[in-house]
Amino acid sequence: MTNDVFLSIGKIIERDSKTTTYKFALLRGVIEIIQDNSPFISFLENRVYFPTGLLIEKWMLYYYPILESSTNIPQINGETNLAFGILLKKIISAYSTAGGFSAFYNDLKNKGIPPNLKSDLVDLAKKMKDTITRMPMKYIGRSFSNNYYSIFQFESGIGRRNTNLVDAEFLINNFGSFSIPVDYYEAFKVLGSFISGKDSIFFKWAEFSVNASGKNLSIEKVINEVLRSPITAREVAESKKIYSSILKKEGKVYCVWTGKTISTYDIDHVIPFSIWKNNDLWNLLPAQAKINNRKRDKIPSAFRIEQQTELIIHYWELINKHQLNRFQKEIKISLLGSNLFSNWQRTAISQLQSSCDYLIKTRGYEEWKI
Tell me which DSSP letter residue 215 carries.
S
Q: What strands lie across the sheet with 47-51, from one edge to the other?
A: 42-44, 47-51, 177-181, 153-155
Per the CB < 8 A criterion, the answer to whether 280 and 330 are in contact is yes
Sign of the CA dihedral 252, 255, 256, 260?
A: negative
Other beta carbons within 10 angstroms of residue 53's beta carbon come to 23
Burial of 281 (0-12, 13-18, 19+ CB in 10 A): buried
pLDDT at 13: 79
Mean of the pLDDT values across residues 294-307?
93
Tell me which DSSP letter residue 286 carries.
E
Q: Give me the residue spans of the domains in the chain.
A: 3-196, 197-228, 237-368
> Residue 365: which of 267, 228, 271 has the closest Cα?
271
Any idea which of 25-29, 41-45, 115-119, 213-217 has the lowest mean pLDDT?
213-217
pLDDT at 163: 67
* Res. 2: pLDDT tops 70: no
pLDDT at 79: 59
Mean of per-residue pLDDT scores for the chain? 87
Name residues whose C-beta falls within 8 Å of residue 80's C-beta, 6 or more positions apart in sequence: none
Each residue's pLDDT tens digit, 68-123: 988 888 888 775 689 999 999 999 999 999 999 999 998 999 889 999 999 999 99
Mean of the pLDDT values across residues 133-140?
94
Mean of the pLDDT values across residues 261-278?
88
Q: What are phi and psi of 61, to 5 degrees?
A: -75, -30
pLDDT at 312: 96
Mean of the pLDDT values across residues 326-351?
90
> Residue 29: which of 50, 44, 48 has the closest Cα?
50
Each residue's pLDDT tens digit, 147-159: 999 999 998 876 6
Helical spans, DSSP H, in 281-337: 289-295, 302-307, 309-322, 324-331
Cα–Cα dist 204/259, whole Å: 48
Name residues whose C-beta falls within 8 Å of residue 293's C-beta, 6 or more positions apart in sequence: 266
Each residue's pLDDT tens digit, 248-262: 776 778 999 999 998
User: pTM of the prediction?
Assistant: 0.74
Percent of the chain with pLDDT over 90: 49
Mean of the pLDDT values across residues 4-26?
82
